Structure 1
């Protein structure tokens, strides 16, 4: 999930976000030269800024979506529908509270139009949500099981990812290892409880909780979108 999330961020969230920013700058020529919330100059695309955006926003944010998908996939639909639902959840619950559709971001007062900002960033968030499970499925069919020392070689990229992300990567790696250890302990010590975790009742309850979370977040999402549309 970490590799899938990072790869999705590298392929989608990072470069896609940069392209959306360039698009919005092109549609706001009168604001060229002004500074954004991150003290970047509107209309000026630099290699340093692009690399920094792809690494810290794309890859780090991608890893976060990968971990989140690992936690929620138990209650998502199978196949392509699962990716679409995951992307929609990212959009409704997180996009307006974190990024990229945070309504208090003063950049929306500068670049626009608002409808283009909402449309482009919404499509990007949903596409990121769909790409993570697609890559996870592709990798899961090719990565060997850890049933021999030689198979561990296939997981060496995780170490490189942890080094690249620094403390964030180490924290993510520790979280994944703790989750795996807890799952193994649950299966060994409490097999009946582990079996009930996969019961139809738990599936129904989890999906109901996700639906409730989306419905609760929907009014705030609608208010944030309205604010961006009025600002642009």
Structure 2
């Protein structure tokens, strides 16, 4: 519960800053460079060049959701990465940028067909996760440290911070799944031998590398089609 609260709050904060503020700045830059497309609807339902309260709130809400999802993934993968801390963060950053970029960049999207220069929307959509991951790692590791407030404060003060998931609305089932997986891991991990734990960890790493290569292939193909 302590680790989940620390990672969740870190993900919400970094997601709000990178996805919300950074996303709004990226959209503003694209709108400024493409004044002829003002008023057109983007893939995400926003009007190009128009700053509205409802649109901003929707963007901030989506940024918090993305941040919370990213926090869960980071919490699950942080111990699988190999090497020194900087190397682990670099590998997670690269993987996150490639996978999220492959998911967001698609040649059929209006954002990539009508907004120019052609390379800029691609760069921005890949840059956002590339900035999010190291900032999340920096803040989350600080709050996950043994001497942090999250680790030393009374649980009744820490657990209510998970209410940040209420702001995410439909993501509440994802929080429940994370709790269940965490409890199962806590019960099963001590019963496995060192060899079995190593085999599971390396199997997960192989799957992650395969996913990264598949995502990279898709991203390269999408970038070629867009540019």
2:58 maps to 1:52: yes
Q: Deviations over 1:141-182 (max 9, x none)?
A: 214448x8x333123111x212222231x2132122212211
Q: What residue in structure 2 maps to residue 225 of structure 1?
A: 223
Q: What are the ranges of 5 or more consecutive residues in structure 1 without an aligned counterpart?
A: none
* DSSP 3-state at the match of 2:166: helix
Structure 1 residues 17, 144: CA separation in 2 closer, same or farther (over 3 Å shift)?
Answer: closer
Following the alignment from structure 1 to structure 2, what is the Cα–Cα distance between the partners of residues 197 and 154? 33
Q: Report the alpha carbon displacement of residue 202 of structure 1 after superposing the two structures with TM.
A: 4.8
Matches within 5 A, 1:6-85: 6-55=12-61, 57-77=62-82, 78-85=84-91
Structure-2 change in CA distance of 1:207 and 1:228 (3 Å): same
- The equivalent residue for 1:140 is 144
The 1:25/1:213 distance shift into structure 2, 3 A limit, reads same
Number of residue pairs matched by the alignment: 218
Q: CA deviation at 1:46?
A: 1.6
Question: 1:207 is matched with which residue: 205, 208, 220?
Answer: 205
**Cα RMSD (Å):** 2.3
Q: Name the CA distance, whole Å, in 2 between partners of 1:32 and 1:145.
A: 49
Q: Which runs of 5+ in 2 are unaligned?
A: 1-6
Cα distance in 2 for partners of 1:197, 1:18 equals 46
Q: Which residue does 2:4 correspond to in 1?
A: none
Are 2:169 and 1:162 aligned? no
SS at match of 2:102: coil
Distance 1:219 1:180, change over 3 A: closer
Alignment TM-score, normalising by the size of structure 1:
0.83
- Of 11, 16, 21, the residue aligned with 1:5 is 11
Whole-angstrom CA distance in 1 between matches of 2:88 and 2:54: 35
Q: Secondary structure at the match of 1:74?
A: coil
The 8 Å contact of residues 12 and 64 in structure 2, kept in 1 or not, is answered as yes
